[in-house]
Structures are given as structure tokens and as C-alpha cells.
Amino acid sequence: MLGQKSTVRLTLGYKLLMAATGLILVGFLLAHLCGNLLLFAGAEAINQYALKLREYPLLLWLARGVLLLSVCGHIYAGIKLSLLNKKARPQAYAKAKRVKAGFASQSMLLSGLIVLFFIVYHLAHFTFKWTHRAMFQFLDEHDVYSMVLLSFKSPWVTGFYVLSVILLMVHLYHGIRSIFQTLGLNHPKYNLAIKIFGQSLSVLLAFGFLTLPLSVFFKFLE
Ligand code: HEM
């Protein structure tokens, strides 16, 4: 049985791990979105970008390693925190708290797990090219443009991406604000600004990612 002091210390540790890895993952999302938006600049632009990334394999694998560790650390801290919360919460308090807490905050674990499922599918789709082998077989290995355009002709693939990005937004809607609060920027003076920043960034990221499958599906990009 853990003492109250150790529980508080452990909770803080997991929250810090959650915030630090969350910050890295949001950074990746911003960079990934900027790269993906090159799709609107044409095949040459995005394919050259994909090729450029591979010119520095050491850097690429270092970034991938940091990303993988961040995802694992984020999930580990999330599960540990949710277990600690369950242990620490008396029943009556739990009920009152659940009503008070927002929809996004309550669904963090669920939306996080669905986003994880999306990432696994997404890697199998575009990085390892396992899910659309027949569709991609005649494409050049670095022809990201054609790969994306072919994929989002399918209503199933487009629908799944749209749903996943919306769930990612639900996750970030609460998550980005929590990063700032855990890292110590929790002051009544700034709380509203932090909340608006977090919510706006999550909507902006989701909007950016949604433009890609939807533009292809509705033939704005051909
Ligand atoms: C919805 C629009 C998106 C599109 C069109 C897209 C497109 C792509 C493409 C084409 C690749 C492979 C790049 C290459 O091999 O050169 C890729 C890789 C990847 N994407 Fe996305 N992506 C989208 C959203 C997301 C989201 C929302 C996440 C995270 C939640 C994500 C996470 C990743 C990861 C982790 C990789 C592997 C990066 C690596 O090769 O190391 N993507 N994406």
C-alpha cells in the first residue's frame, strides 16, 4: 500500500512524463502537417520532401526513435495515472467529479487508445505499405503524392481518417491545456488564454489534417 506522499510524488512524475512526451508529439504533429500540406503544392514538392527526409537516415531514425519512445512513455504514464486515480478516489467523490469533468477530459483514455489504433493502421498504410499492396505495387517507392491520391479515393479509407482525426482533436482539445498546466503555467491570469490556445491549436491541427483526405475525396486535388 502506497502512502499519500508517495502517491502524490508518483502522480506528479507520471504527469510530467505525460506532459513532456505530449509536447514532443504535438511538435511532431505540427511538423507532419506542414510536410503534408506540400501535397497542395503538387507531386514534385511532396515527393522531393519525402526524398529529402531519407537523405539523412541517421537523423530520420533518431527522430523516429524519439517519437516511438514518446508514444510508449505517453501511453505508460496515461495508464499508470488512470490506475492511481482509480485507487485514490472514494466512490461518492468519483460520481460528483465525473459529472463535473468535461466530455473531452473523461474520454482521454478512450480517444487516446483509438488514436493509437489509427497510428498503427496509418503506419501499415503509408510507411510499410501493407494494407494497400495491390494498389501501390506499380508506384515508385517515394511517390507519396500518388499514394495519398489513390488511397483517399476510397470512401472507407477517407471515412476512417476523418473519424480518427476528429478523435485526435478531442484528445488534444483537453491534452494541450494539460501540458501547460503540468509544466507549471497554471496561473489564474493565464488560464483562459491557455485554454483558448489549446483548443484553437487542436481545431487548427484537425482542420489541417482533414483538408488532405477530404480534398482528394471531393476531387479538389487530382
Ligand atoms: C490525415 C492526414 C494524414 C496524411 C495524408 C498523412 C500522410 C502520411 C504519409 C504519406 C506518411 C509516409 C511518409 C513517407 O513515408 O515519406 C506518413 C507517416 C506518418 N504519419 Fe501521417 N498522415 C496524416 C495524418 C497523421 C496523423 C494524424 C498522425 C498522428 C496521429 C500521423 C502520424 C504519422 C507517423 C507516426 C508517420 C511515420 C513517420 C515516419 O516515417 O517515421 N499522420 N503520414
129 lines ligand 1 (CB under 6 A): no
Q: Is residue 52 part of a domain?
A: yes
Q: Give per-residue pLDDT as tens, 116-129.
A: 999 999 999 999 99
Q: Return the number of other C-beta atoms located less than 10 Å from residue 117's C-beta.
A: 12
Cα–Cα dist 139/192, whole Å = 49
Q: Is residue 198 part of a domain?
A: yes
Cα–Cα dist 75/90, whole Å = 25
Among candidates 172, 151, 171, 150, which has minimal Cα distance to 160? 151
Residue 83 has pLDDT above 90, yes or no: no
Confidence (pLDDT) at 84: 85
168 lines ligand 1 (CB under 6 A): yes
Q: Is residue 90 part of a domain?
A: yes
212 lines ligand 1 (CB under 6 A): yes
Q: Give per-residue pLDDT as tens, 138-186.
A: 898 889 999 999 999 999 999 999 999 999 999 999 899 889 888 877 7
Nearest residue (CA) to ligand 1, atom 15: 127
Confidence (pLDDT) at 2: 65
CATH number of 38's domain: 1.20.1300.10
Q: What is the mean pLDDT of the chain?
A: 89
Ligand 1 centroid distance, CA of 53 (Å): 13
Nearest residue (CA) to ligand 1, atom 36: 123
205 lines ligand 1 (CB under 6 A): no
Q: Give per-residue pLDDT as tens, 8-42.
A: 888 899 999 999 999 999 999 999 999 999 999 99
Confidence (pLDDT) at 208: 98
Nearest residue (CA) to ligand 1, atom 32: 119
Q: Domain range for residue 136?
A: 4-217
Residue 95 has pLDDT above 80, yes or no: no
> pTM to 2 decimals?
0.91
Q: Give per-residue pLDDT as tens, 43-54.
A: 999 999 999 999
In terms of Cβ atoms closer than 10 Å to its own Cβ (0-12, 13-18, 19+), residue 45 is middle
Ligand 1 centroid distance, CA of 82 (Å): 28
- Which residue has better confidence, 103 or 174? 174
What is the number of domains present in the chain? 1
Q: Report how far apart, in Å, the C-alpha atoms of 92 and of each of 95, 101, 112 are.
A: 5, 15, 27
Length of the chain, in residues = 222
Q: Is residue 222 part of a domain?
A: no
Q: Is residue 205 part of a domain?
A: yes
